């Protein structure tokens, strides 16, 4: 398949003419990779079952793992799902933005898009490119993250060019995604209760200002054998770099550095907070060190995580180490992604 790459000149205010071809491709049942404020998505017409089946093929994704449908204004959810007051309270607070809401589906959404479930995940992204593309397509766009199944989500165009060239019709290059981690996903249980299925930039604390929120066990824990995942995506290994990732739960930054001075191995990479990089370089001169951002700068850490993991794939490390994040604020999202990338491999000092 020939892949057309469209580089957007002004991502904050894209020229409609640059998106017309991609929108036509969606209407005609093709595949378009597009940027959002979270990560790049691999999109097709959410109402076209054949087009949606091509998404699963291009990604190598199991077909029981449902897709998020992307809309350009919150009210467009009416066409695809049964909404409620709570949906609109969430929309008023966070849309357009990095939040996905799971609602009871209407028949307009094919089963293929919802992985056979009777619910559908709806998201109104903030990215102007994404919203304009959806508007011009005249339909909801079903899109998972545009990585090959099992790789970190793509946050810059070069990641999707690496993964998707030859597999999709169009790649829209809109530069780096603002946030770099996928959207927060909540399921509406009833008018007062939400379940947080996947943490993201919109935090548990922020959601609790609007409703009672239960944290799905799989956000922080391993699924127990035989346990059914509420969100099918929870049961798959995710975001795995090629070299094993090990998380260090250190009481202090000094302990983190000390661990490496005592374990001076070959060919390792260390993802480290900016504050300790100089000391680490002295302690383990042979290690490759990746700057994760300042200790309390969760925004920078979120922005860098997937790029760093992809970068480590280009080198042949025997092991990658990183600090275990906290479980509050945006760090909960980092924690959730990193324990999965590490397959729960945690060293507690
Ligand atoms: O930020 C994002 O959400 C990005 C961009 C492209 O919008 N999309 C994304 O999609 O991360 P994906 O497919 O990589 O992750 C969506 C997750 C999966 O774990 C899936 O199982 C879950 O959402 N999901 C989708 N529909 C669901 C539903 N009806 N009920 C429960 N979980 C659902
Ligand atoms: Mg994904």
Instruction: Tell me what pLDDT residue 233 has.
Output: 55
Ligand 1 atom at shortest distance from the alpha carbon of 42: 6
User: What is the predicted pLDDT for the residue at 343?
Assistant: 86
pLDDT band at 62, cuts 50/70/90?
confident
Helix, coil or strand: residue 286? coil
- Closest ligand by atom to 155 CA: 1
Q: How far apart are the first and last CA of the chain?
A: 50
Dihedral sign (CA 183, 207, 91, 217): positive
Q: How far is CA 268 from the centre of its chain?
A: 26
pLDDT band at residue 136 using 50, 70 and 90 as cut-offs: very high
pLDDT digits over 33-53, tens only?
Answer: 999 999 999 999 999 999 999
For residue 39 and ligand 1, the question of a CB distance below 6 A is answered with yes
pLDDT in tens, 289-334: 999 999 999 999 999 999 999 999 999 899 999 999 999 999 999 9
pLDDT averaged over every residue in the chain: 93
Q: What per-residue confidence (pLDDT) applies to 240?
A: 77
Cα separation, 115 vs 292, whole angstroms: 35
C-alpha distances (whole Å) from 123 to each of 151, 199, 237 are 22, 14, 23
- Work out the pLDDT band at 221, boundaries 50, 70, 90: confident
Work out the average pLDDT over 265-283. 93
Place of tokens 């993250």: 145
Identify the CA nearest to 332 among candidates 228, 242, 222, 198.
198
Cα torsion angle, 60, 63, 65, 69, sign: positive
Q: Which of 68, 111, 120, 202 to mutate to test the pocket of ligand 1 (most atoms within 8 A of CB)?
A: 68
Mean pLDDT for 216-245 is: 68
d(CA 203, CA 206): 5
293: left (phi over 0), alpha (psi -120 to 50) or beta: left
Q: What pLDDT score does 19 carry?
A: 98
Nearest to 213 by CA among 179, 185, 235, 181: 185
Distances 324 to 165, 175, 188, 331 between C-alpha atoms, Å: 34, 29, 30, 10
pLDDT, tens digit (0-9, with 9 covering 90-100), for 89-127 = 999 999 999 999 999 999 999 999 999 999 999 999 999
Atom of ligand 1 nearest to the CA of 143: 6
Q: Residue 227 pLDDT more than 70?
A: no
Could you tell me which of 8, 53, 3 has the C-alpha nearest to residue 25? 3
Residue 67, ligand 1, Cβ within 6 A? yes
Q: What is the structure's pLDDT at 224?
A: 53
Ligand 1 pocket test, pick from 101, 118, 144 with the greatest ligand atom count within 8 Å of Cβ, gives 144
Give 222's pLDDT tier (boundaries 50, 70, 90).
Answer: low
Any ligand 1 atom below 6 A from CB of 229: no
Distance separating alpha carbons of residues 118 and 6, to the nearest angstrom: 36
Q: Is 37 in the pocket of ligand 1 (CB under 6 A)?
A: no
- Pseudo-torsion of CA 127, 40, 145, 161, nearest 10°? 160
* 224 vs 83, more confident: 83
For the chain, percent of residues with pLDDT exceeding 90: 84
pLDDT for residue 249 is more than 80: yes
236 with 62: CB under 8 angstroms?
yes
CB 146 within 8 A of CB 35: no
Percent of the chain residues topping a pLDDT of 70: 95
Confidence bin at 218 (pLDDT 50/70/90): confident
């Amino acid at each position: 398949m020939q892949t057309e790459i469209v580089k957007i000149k002004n991502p904050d205010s894209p020229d409609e003419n640059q998106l017309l071809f991609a929108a036509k491709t969606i209407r005609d049942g093709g595949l378009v990779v597009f940027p959002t404020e979270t990560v790049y998505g691999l999109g097709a017409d959410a109402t076209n079952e054949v087009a949606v089946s091509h998404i699963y093929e291009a990604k190598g994704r199991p077909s029981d793992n449902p897709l998020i449908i992307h809309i350009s204004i919150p009210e467009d959810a009416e066409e695809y799902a049964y909404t409620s007051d709570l949906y609109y309270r969430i929309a008023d607070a966070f849309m357009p933005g990095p939040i996905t809401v799971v609602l009871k589906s209407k028949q307009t959404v094919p089963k293929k898009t919802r992985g056979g479930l009777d619910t559908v995940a709806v998201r109104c992204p903030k990215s102007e490119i994404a919203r304009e593309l959806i508007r011009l397509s005249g339909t909801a766009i079903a899109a998972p993250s545009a990585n090959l199944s099992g790789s970190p989500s793509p946050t810059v165009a070069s990641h999707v060019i690496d993964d998707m060239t030859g597999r999709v019709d169009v790649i829209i290059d809109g530069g780096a995604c603002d946030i770099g981690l996928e959207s927060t996903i909540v399921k509406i249980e009833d008018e007062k209760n939400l379940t947080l299925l996947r943490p993201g930039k919109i935090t548990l604390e922020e959601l609790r200002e609007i409703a009672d929120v239960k944290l799905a066990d799989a956000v922080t824990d391993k699924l127990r054998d035989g346990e059914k995942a509420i969100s099918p995506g929870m049961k798959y290994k995710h975001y795995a770099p090629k070299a094993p990732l090990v998380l260090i739960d250190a009481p202090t930054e000094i302990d983190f550095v000390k661990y490496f001075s005592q374990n001076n191995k070959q060919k390792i990479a260390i993802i480290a907070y900016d504050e300790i990089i100089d000391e680490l370089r002295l302690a383990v001169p042979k290690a490759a060190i990746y700057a994760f951002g300042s200790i309390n700068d969760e925004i920078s850490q979120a922005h860098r995580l997937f790029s760093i993991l992809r970068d480590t794939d280009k080198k042949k490390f025997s092991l990658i180490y990183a600090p275990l994040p906290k479980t509050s604020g945006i760090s909960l999202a980092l924690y959730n992604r990193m324990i999965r990338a590490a397959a729960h491999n945690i060293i507690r000092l």
